[in-house]
Amino acid sequence: MKVGDLVRDTSFGMNGVIFDVANEVDSRRGRPGCRLPRIWMVLYADGQTDEAYDDEIEIINESR
């Protein structure tokens, strides 16, 4: 997945477009360099935005 992809959020049952991604390093748990799950920022068809994880969204149409 990447920014610009049209996705279906299975937890909300709505379509949206990925507009940002957050990849954070988990240093709070004493494991520097460990990656947290990827968080996608999605703009939904109703104009709302929210975070979604890989297992909550599926690609409908990839951007070029």
Which residues have CB under 8 Å from 17's CB, separation 6+? 4, 5, 6, 7, 42, 43
pLDDT of 63: 82
pLDDT class for 28, splitting at 50, 70, 90? low
pLDDT class for 13, splitting at 50, 70, 90? very high
Q: What is the average pLDDT across 7-28?
A: 83
**pLDDT higher than threshold 90 for residue 25:** no
Closest to 39 (Cα-Cα) out of 17, 24, 49? 24
**pLDDT higher than threshold 80 for residue 45:** yes
The pTM of this model reads 0.77
Return the percentage of the chain with pLDDT > 70, whole number: 78
